[in-house]
Structure 1
């Protein structure tokens, strides 16, 4: 009862109710809330603090920005009950807020469009070197939809394309990047996600480093590296860190280039690695307690795109027997460089090879 009274008191203020309704729709920065509410930043920050203390909102720092998202206590029924109790004047104010929220969405989308227009030459020159992204994405979807996605982590989300592709099917989707600018671009992609997913707090966008993920062990069922691993100075360590947060029997998909000699990708696009061999990825999977479940090679330009899907071994059996693949376990201990093994692929799931 005391907890409910605390929640109701926190939401009794009209401005705090407006904030709660807004962040149920979209994670917003403090500056964006100031813009929508038409109030001073100190006043808005005071309301945010009260909502935060009541568990109705959570503050998240991202570089020099602070974003607000729904807290664990901000349940839909609280909002619905209070919204129905508002006066006609209050309802008009909330309707106006929601219209301003759409302007914020549009502003984010415009920012993303301007960024890509500015960098269009760089992106186009890179895309022209490999098979169309639509074919890469189709192959990713074919592999990942074999079983439920569960809790998804997109490492190095960049512009947030994976949010568009997979958030709807995920139980929960977390997108992480070390660039605050890229995360603002990714946030613009949320407009393409069904409203019920955004409203349920199903998507988290957060700042973080793939070398030291700010996430709990075994907390994700599906992990994605889409054209990001080539930025890693120590890719095997990055894969090991991702394996730490992957749950037993979880899947890790890596989409990147096969080894190549396009040195300008290092000098112009800041790639730390010029592609990856099967041996390196298999060794990294083994060291992370995974085996290769699927593998695809997509030819269609000067650069070959590879897809590796690893699956983590389940927990040790209660009777103390060995995991499902003792050969991989032995290779993990000995450091043996593993070759792709066709028998590791499920029946009727041959390697996909797309040649243009």
Structure 2
């Protein structure tokens, strides 16, 4: 790193608030409003500090509709610079990380509460978006012929589970909403044969209640955009999939429909194809099929099938 770059970085961090911000964003990606609450400062002041750090190349911003999220740079000399600086910080700054961790947990709690509250209407809400497109059938077509254990992550009320049971020996459904799981179980009450091959498990997608290499097929449908850290969930999926296991992902292409946040509890307004491909590459998946599907409300879906190495 050139001396001028070192001086620029030191100058950017030569303020207690900016040092705190950089340290927080080294560990978490947070929105401007979340940082305002965490630091208990006015938005204009926080934004000014964020701009100085960004201009120095120490932070990167991600705009998602009307929201802007910040995190520390993840590669290059500036990442190495921050890493060396933070190794000398005392533990008195740890309180900021504790608060930030609670913010992330509150996100998960709000998402869980949202899905519990709309569980009874979820199937109808899905139809408002998907229209005549049958996502369960699309998932079923991607299940390998010799699949012994399939898992649906964020299984909701069980529409996809029903089709997976027709294509796999046994099926595991995971969801963070107990109300959703109750409705999924009710779907199979009168079909003991299917229910006997179904395991419904409550759990968060960043810490899946499955063993390493337990499933030969996994799907995650219209779920990633609800998560704070989609990459963590995908990393967990890689863990629970057996070698050569198949992963099916469906989610929205990047869009600007802000009402999806309030009406459907979305945290991300979709993803670019490049971002999904990067996730797959980093986790060692090989993409074997990719296409898009137009649905209602001017939205489109990624339909991606990948194989674990």
Give the TM-score normalised by the residue count of structure 2.
0.57
Query: Does 1:252 pair with 2:251?
Result: no
Structure 1 residues 207 and 292: alpha-carbon distance in aligned structure 2, compared to 1, 3 A threshold: same
User: How big is each residue's C-alpha offset from its partner over 1:80-122, in whole Å with a ceiling of 9 and x where there is no partner?
Assistant: xxxxxxxxxxxxxxxxxxxxxxxxxxxxxxxxxx964xx37xx
2:307 to 311, 331, 337: 311
Structure 2: distance between partners of 1:264 and 1:152:
33
Aligned residues: 192
Mapping 1:89-108, distance limit 5 Å: none
Structure 1 residues 132 and 192: alpha-carbon distance in aligned structure 2, compared to 1, 3 A threshold: farther
- 3-state SS in 2 of match to 1:268: helix
CA deviation after TM superposition for structure 1 residue 311, in Å: 0.3
Query: Does 1:196 pair with 2:193?
Result: yes
Runs of 4+ in 1 over 6 A off after TM superposition: none
Q: Is the 8 A contact 2:119 2:179 kept in 1?
A: no
Query: Which residue of the partner structure matches residue 101 of structure 1?
Result: none
CA deviation after TM superposition for structure 1 residue 149, in Å: 2.5
Structure 2: distance between partners of 1:184 and 1:125:
18
Query: Which residue of the partner structure matches residue 169 of structure 2?
Result: 171
- 3-state SS in 2 of match to 1:216: coil
Structure 2: distance between partners of 1:190 and 1:229:
26
What residue ranges of structure 1 are gaps of 5+ in the alignment? 1-113, 314-356
Query: Which residue of the partner structure matches residue 60 of structure 1?
Result: none
CA deviation after TM superposition for structure 1 residue 125, in Å: 6.0
1:269 to 264, 271, 275: 264
CA deviation after TM superposition for structure 1 residue 132, in Å: 2.1
Structure 1 residues 210 and 268: alpha-carbon distance in aligned structure 2, compared to 1, 3 A threshold: same
User: How big is each residue's C-alpha offset from its partner over 1:153-189, in whole Å with a ceiling of 9 and x where there is no partner?
Assistant: 1111110111211113212211111111111011012
Query: Which residue of the partner structure matches residue 287 of structure 2?
Result: 292
- 3-state SS in 1 of match to 2:268: coil
CA deviation after TM superposition for structure 1 residue 191, in Å: 3.5
- 3-state SS in 2 of match to 1:139: helix
Q: Is the 8 A contact 1:151 1:220 kept in 2?
A: yes
Query: Does 1:138 pair with 2:137?
Result: yes
- 3-state SS in 2 of match to 1:286: helix
Query: Which residue of the partner structure matches residue 127 of structure 2?
Result: 127
2:180 to 171, 175, 182: 182
- Structure with higher Rg: it is 1
CA deviation after TM superposition for structure 1 residue 192, in Å: 6.4
User: How big is each residue's C-alpha offset from its partner over 1:33-75, in whole Å with a ceiling of 9 and x where there is no partner?
Assistant: xxxxxxxxxxxxxxxxxxxxxxxxxxxxxxxxxxxxxxxxxxx
CA deviation after TM superposition for structure 1 residue 133, in Å: 3.5
Structure 1: distance between partners of 2:236 and 2:147:
20
Structure 2: distance between partners of 1:208 and 1:311:
24
RMSD: 2.3
Structure 1: distance between partners of 2:129 and 2:279:
27
Structure 2: distance between partners of 1:177 and 1:260:
25
CA deviation after TM superposition for structure 1 residue 283, in Å: 1.3
**Which piece of structure 1 moves more, 269-278 or 247-256?**
269-278
CA deviation after TM superposition for structure 1 residue 131, in Å: 4.5
Q: Is the 8 A contact 1:259 1:274 kept in 2?
A: yes
Structure 1 residues 187 and 253: alpha-carbon distance in aligned structure 2, compared to 1, 3 A threshold: same
